[in-house]
Structure 1
């Protein structure tokens, strides 16, 4: 899933008091809550055989092709990207991201045993899945974490090569969704794009440096 990291521009104006840092308990509840939202989103997408962008989408492709456990694949696929996270975003962010990815991987395996859909409309799954993922990622972002992957690489390339992180992330997402045509139908790819749009709508509206100062 796409990564959107807080920037210095998210700090409040000078005439407002600096925000109080989150406590460890607050970070823990955000980690659990955000990952639960995203795990439920992943379940809805998988039940409808859809995809998403980023390393989560790549994990879906590997899962569909191999039948390997999705949670395990997600955890393993993200491992190489922590090196970029350390270089671009520091130890604290990378540690929180590692914890978030590990928790999401665990929840991805546990949630199917707790939730079962007798009927799930694919269009609803695409939209609701995207919205749930966007909310979960937003919660994690506000607490200085992410779901890692290609977004971390995009920020690393922006800092070291001057490449626009948004353009890199979009290129990766387009590539992964295009590869989806090898595994799922064009209609399912179209719904996957709809889901990604819903996710980014939530992030775009609710993560505004000029409007929201909490993080």
Structure 2
């Protein structure tokens, strides 16, 4: 029970942190937080769906693709994480509007919180949803840090998003991804050899 409560708290915290980074800093500047964020930006652009629900739809769809490989327990925890993230995005976007914004500060601060939140989730054996599911599958299968596959998958989606909306997005998104995936690896590496597997047993 103690382990369960700790994991639950960390999953909620990880989801809230990445939602804070996206909702308060990245999305107001139209900076995709990742591959799922890029697709969510497109849904917002084409169908005028708000970012929180758009991101949840994308994350849930990608999660369903990973259930068979990663298991139902992984899917359940990831569902908790992505739901917390979407709720946090809507909360911070609507509750704490920033009038005088600075693009560089928003980019750096938002990316740091985003990467920290994702790193916390992945240390608990939980994906941040979206293409993070695919990155986690690669990381889990090859026993490597998840930042690199996450980066390369995301930039592919960024180019599509930029082609539709604006090519300036590519530069901002790439910088954001470099910062956030660096933070993912930093946070993940702190406990890389002692993370709990999906069955909650320590790796040997």
TM-score higher than 0.5 here? yes
- Pairwise CA distance, 1:200: 0.9
Task: Decide which structure has greater helix share.
Answer: 2
Aligned to 2:45: 64
Whichever of the two has the greater Rg, that structure is 1
- Pairwise CA distance, 1:123: 1.4
Give the length in aligned residue pairs.
Answer: 191
Cα pair distance change 1:54/1:116, threshold 3 Å:
same
- Pairwise CA distance, 1:65: 3.0
Cα pair distance change 1:157/1:185, threshold 3 Å:
same
1:30 to 10, 26, 34: 10
Cα pair distance change 1:193/1:159, threshold 3 Å:
closer
Aligned to 1:125: 106
Cα distance in 2, alignment partners of residues 47 and 39 from structure 1:
12
1:152 aligns with 2:133: yes
1:195 to 176, 195, 198: 176
Q: Which has the higher contact order (CA 8 A, sep 6+)?
A: 1
Cα distance in 2, alignment partners of residues 172 and 39 from structure 1:
20
Aligned to 2:87: 106
- Pairwise CA distance, 1:92: 1.4
Following TM superposition, the consecutive aligned residue runs of length 4 or more in structure 1 with deviations greater than 4 angstroms are 154-160, 165-171, 209-212
1:90 to 65, 71, 86: 71
1:55 to 32, 36, 48: 36
Structure 2 segments unaligned to the other structure (5+ residues): 197-204
**Are the equivalent residues in 1 in contact too, given 2:19–2:85 (CA < 8 A)?**
yes
Structure 1 segments unaligned to the other structure (5+ residues): 1-20
**TM-score scaled to structure 1, two decimals?**
0.75
- Pairwise CA distance, 1:86: 2.0
**TM-score scaled to structure 2, two decimals?**
0.79
**Are the equivalent residues in 2 in contact too, given 1:84–1:156 (CA < 8 A)?**
no
- Pairwise CA distance, 1:157: 7.4
Cα distance in 2, alignment partners of residues 73 and 107 from structure 1:
13
- Pairwise CA distance, 1:149: 1.9
Cα distance in 2, alignment partners of residues 119 and 110 from structure 1:
19
Cα pair distance change 1:118/1:133, threshold 3 Å:
same
1:176 aligns with 2:161: no
